[in-house]
Structure 1
Amino acid sequence: METPNVTIPKVGPKPSRKVKLPTPKELISHYESKGMDSQDASLKVIEDLQKALFRVISSGKGKHDKLLTESSRKIDAINNRLTVLDMKLDSKPAYVETFAIGLASGAALKGIGAVVPHIIAPLTQIWNSVSSAIKSSPQ
């Protein structure tokens, strides 16, 4: 007895065939074959693509639009955060500028340290003179 040659079909989703879209050159040559010159054919291809794009964009309703709106809002928020971060990074001084700021502040502190004793000593003398005059005056 012979066993029959039977193939069992696979269960599951069938592989979908991807439609190969024509290239721009193919579209232009299609319109040129209809009698248009190269520039008119190019303009016609662009017009057709714009119409197709408009149909795709305007056909989305309901949940799809809500998803696009939410995604757009999130992308705008991320873009704003990146812009703020970029501005903050641009406003930070570089290594050379930071070193120069450190040298200037060190020189300023050193200068203040040299001037402060000359200011405090006369103020101390004035304070002592006033306090001794107050203590020695009869009341």
Structure 2
Amino acid sequence: MGKQRSSTLTKLWDRAQQIDPVNAWASTIRSRIDQPPFQMDINFVAKLVPLMETFNRYFDAEVRGTHHLRTDGPALVIGNHSGGVLTPDTSALLAAWYRTHGLHRPLYGLAFDAAFGIPGFATIMRKIGQLPASHQNAAKALRA
């Protein structure tokens, strides 16, 4: 019985070594990142902004100084959030931006690549104007 158990555990261990979840996830992320960067759906954003404002009230998130943001030409706004998987500052900024500038002036953001590996979430990210973070996408966003 001991040898059979040891053999079974060895086989399971060998099989586990063949499964490479990190590379599988990285491959999924790469396939989602390689999509065209600009897929914002302004109608989706219009429906989502009121939900973002509700989310912001729950977290007591606020954005100050929107009057300092440029009204013409490109602008670079950088956020550093420490909310872990929750980033109330992102929804606060998006809601404040569209409240101040209207939906005719889109806001694009750079987001951590791994977020685009989450099924369903990647689609939402793209629809609200998020791009996988890279130097190339930053330059494209500033030219948009």
TM > 0.5: no
User: TM-score scaled to structure 1, two decimals?
Assistant: 0.23
Higher helix share: 1
Higher strand share: 2
- Larger-gyration structure (1/2): 1
Bigger relative CO (Cα 8 Å, ≥ 6 apart): 2
